[in-house]
Every structure is written in structure tokens, then in C-alpha cells.
A and B are shown apart, each in its own frame.
Chain A
């Protein structure tokens, strides 16, 4: 099946017949590999059965399921939360030296909150951040990290999930943080103790 053809030399204008055939060979080979190898191995699509024969289709199905899972945000399994506007919350957190705590509001994407927090006049390390709802442990987005005695502002949640502050007392004195907020959320609470060694 190998034909002897005068193929073009380097820099020479190729004969159209040779060129057309070469292009078709390239496209055909690509299509063949796509259908028999790549589609089964990447997406679990196996029209010819070659993927199963080569042991690729199962891998492709798994990859595809994982990719589709990643894209579905938030995962469909999570029940809708009851976000209510016009709520008010007021919390106090006492932090021993070296201790860290979080206050979080469960908010919908685009939900807003007006907040104000202050300490007993001692500087405290804090991070304003949010965790997407249903995200894996340790996945979060940081909005602001600073040291301050207090701060106030308006916050709009960029995604559905828990939004709020992590405070860590780096002073040798006990620090009391008082937070007041009004806005739209399903829950506003002190998160059970769980140190965040990353900061």
C-alpha cells in the first residue's frame, strides 16, 4: 500500500495531489485516534468499542464524571437554605492569648450585610474570608487580612457559603471582640473552635 510519490523537497512548492493526500492522511489519522483512543480515554465515549478493547473507556467515564461534578457548583445534593433579609445579629467572642475563633454568616451569592466589630482596644489579627457552600475542607477565599482594633463596612457575598471573620489573639492579654451585623443570611453564629494553623 506504500506508493512511491515524488514528495516536495525542503522549501519547494508541493504538488497539490501530494499535499491533499498528506492533509487527508493527517486529518484521517487524527479522526481515527480521536474516535478509538482519545474520546474513550478522556470522556468515556466509545462508539466503536475500541476503547473497551484497549481498556480505556472506564477511565474516561470516571474522568468525565469527575469533571462534571467539578462544574456543578453548588452540588445539587445541598438543600436550599432559608435566606432572610433584614436580620440583625450581635455576638461577643472572648479570646485568650494565642486563641483564634470565627464568626460566620451563611449567605447566598450576592447577599449583603453591614457590619461593625471592635475589640477592647487591643489590636487583633483578622482575616475576612468565605467558604463556598459544600466546598471541601480547607477551601476558602480570602478577602482581607490585617491587624486592627475594629472595622466596619458593607459586604456582598461573592458566592453562596459561609462568610465572615477569623480572629486570632496575638497579644499576651485577653481580647474581647464584639460584632454587630445587619443583612441577609440563613445563620449568623460563632463557629465552633477550630484553629487555623495556616495563618
Chain B
């Protein structure tokens, strides 16, 4: 990918370093609420009738910027994307994916367990981390086409949103306008989150630490993905079964 980079001899990510890095990550993400919509916003959504463009734009953007599962996935997706054009292509695919299932899911009243959808979202993070370290090629000599994978997981991220919005009992009055506003808000939030991640990544990529830690960072990302998956599966087991 980048021939200029030397192949350093790294330490295998030690358990302790991973743990420390991961706990730091959790602290940062701790401020972010999981995938759900915050309680105070829930009250508003239950009461709101008619088109509320501004409010739903805001809620969509907020959801994206405070949902650490989306952020972790985006972080994984752009980890090795250097060119703005590539970033734009992937983000567009992801947006097409989640818009499709968000809008059609709510309009058709599709309701899948949010725990199961979130478990798949956790797996999407594991997938991206493995893809970043070329694990599939090393294991199977073949890897899933990353563009299709991003689109595919985009569908699940959208299903997650659709299920949660429906749990809040949206009104028929102004539904489509509100849905499109929410979805646009999600795109805006995604762009803002992406801009922040890209700035940090750009800076990090220029340091030697990136070369030394790229592999390790993806192992940590994978850990977070596994943990999210386990957390959501346990939630399904405990609360929904």
C-alpha cells in the first residue's frame, strides 16, 4: 500500500497494552451513549406530531456523533484510506446502505430485535479490523470485496436506526418528512464525525507511531467489536428471549 514505510519488528500486542488502550477508548466513548436515542429525546419523539425538520435533523446528527458503534466502524473503514476520493466513495456506499433500510424499515414497519442488529454492528467492527490487517487473505487467500461489505453493513446500521425510531412510536403525521430529515441529519453527523476522525488520523499517520501501532490499533478495534457483540447478544439473551 505504501512502499515508503519500513516493516518494523513489532511486539505482539501485549495483553496489558491492549487493555490500557481499550480502557482509554471506553473512557472517551463513555460520554457517548450507545446506539440508542437518549431518554430526554425520547420524550420529545413521543410527543412530536407533524413535520419537525430541524428537530429531526438535529437528532439524526446527534445520534451519529454520539453513537460509538458507528464511530468505531467509521474509524475502521477509513483507517487505511488516504485519498479523499476513496473516503468519499466508501462513505457514500455506507450512506446508501443505511438510508435504504432506515427509510424502508420504518415505512414498512419492519421490526427486528435491536439487540441482534447491534450484535451484527459489533461484528461489522470485527470484520473491518480483520480486513485492515489483511486477515482474510492470510487465512483464506481471498477477501470479501470491501465496497460490498461496507454497503452490506450499512444496511444493518440502518436497520438498527429504523428499529429504534419505531420503538419510540413515531406519528403518521409528517412521518416521511421527519424520516428524511433524520436521515439527512445522520449524514451531516457522519460528515462531522468523519472530519474529526480524519484530522486525528492524518496527524497520526505522519508519525512513526502509526507504523508501529497500526496492527495493534486494529487488534484493539477488533476487541471492541467482539465486546460490543457479546454485550448485545447478552442483552438479547437476558431481556428478549
Q: What are the interface flags for A10-48 relative to B under an 8 Å C-beta threshold, 1 for contact and 0 otherwise?
A: 111111101101110111011101100011001101000
CB within 8 Å of A: which B7-45 residues: 7-15, 18-19, 22
Please determine whether B227 and A9 come into contact, CB atoms closer than 8 angstroms: no
- Chain A residues with Cβ below 8 Å from B9 are 4, 6-7
Q: What are the interface flags for B153-184 relative to A under an 8 Å C-beta threshold, 1 for contact and 0 otherwise?
A: 00000000000000001010100000000000
Please determine whether B138 and A10 come into contact, CB atoms closer than 8 angstroms: no
- Chain A residues with Cβ below 8 Å from B207 are none
User: A145: CB under 8 A from chain B?
Assistant: yes
Measured CB to CB, the closest approach of chain A to B240, in angstroms, equals 8
Measured CB to CB, the closest approach of chain A to B173, in angstroms, equals 7
Measured CB to CB, the closest approach of chain A to B19, in angstroms, equals 6
Measured CB to CB, the closest approach of chain B to A112, in angstroms, equals 19
User: A8: CB under 8 A from chain B?
Assistant: yes
Please determine whether A141 and B169 come into contact, CB atoms closer than 8 angstroms: yes
User: B49: CB under 8 A from chain A?
Assistant: yes
Choose one: A25, A33, A38, A64; the contact of B219 (CB below 8 Å): A25
Measured CB to CB, the closest approach of chain B to A2, in angstroms, equals 5
Please determine whether A45 and B11 come into contact, CB atoms closer than 8 angstroms: no
On whether A39 and B234 interact (CB within 8 A), knowing A19-B133, A22-B133, the answer reads: yes
Measured CB to CB, the closest approach of chain B to A147, in angstroms, equals 14
- Chain B residues with Cβ below 8 Å from A148 are none
State in angstroms the CA–CA spacing of A194 and B19 once bound together.
56
Secondary structure type dominating chain B contacts = helix
User: B135: CB under 8 A from chain A?
Assistant: yes
- Chain B residues with Cβ below 8 Å from A43 are 234-235, 238-239
User: B102: CB under 8 A from chain A?
Assistant: no
- Chain B residues with Cβ below 8 Å from A15 are 138
Choose one: B2, B6, B11, B227; the contact of A30 (CB below 8 Å): B227
User: A71: CB under 8 A from chain B?
Assistant: yes
Give the A interface residue count (CB, 8 A).
43
On whether A13 and B138 interact (CB within 8 A), knowing A3-B11, A7-B11, the answer reads: yes
- Chain B residues with Cβ below 8 Å from A19 are 133, 135, 138-139
Which chain A residue lies CB-closest to B211?
Answer: A10
Please determine whether A10 and B234 come into contact, CB atoms closer than 8 angstroms: no
Please determine whether B219 and A11 come into contact, CB atoms closer than 8 angstroms: no
Please determine whether A23 and B138 come into contact, CB atoms closer than 8 angstroms: no
Choose one: A2, A11, A18, A45; the contact of B234 (CB below 8 Å): A45
User: A139: CB under 8 A from chain B?
Assistant: yes
User: A152: CB under 8 A from chain B?
Assistant: no
User: A68: CB under 8 A from chain B?
Assistant: yes
Which chain B residue lies CB-closest to A60?
Answer: B238
Please determine whether B239 and A34 come into contact, CB atoms closer than 8 angstroms: no
User: A85: CB under 8 A from chain B?
Assistant: no
Measured CB to CB, the closest approach of chain B to A7, in angstroms, equals 4
State in angstroms the CA–CA spacing of A2 and B223 once bound together.
19
Please determine whether B231 and A34 come into contact, CB atoms closer than 8 angstroms: yes
Please determine whether A25 and B5 come into contact, CB atoms closer than 8 angstroms: no
A residues at B contact (CB < 8 Å): 1-16, 18-19, 21-23, 25-27, 29-31, 33-34, 38-39, 42-43, 45, 64, 67-68, 71, 139, 141-142, 145, 198
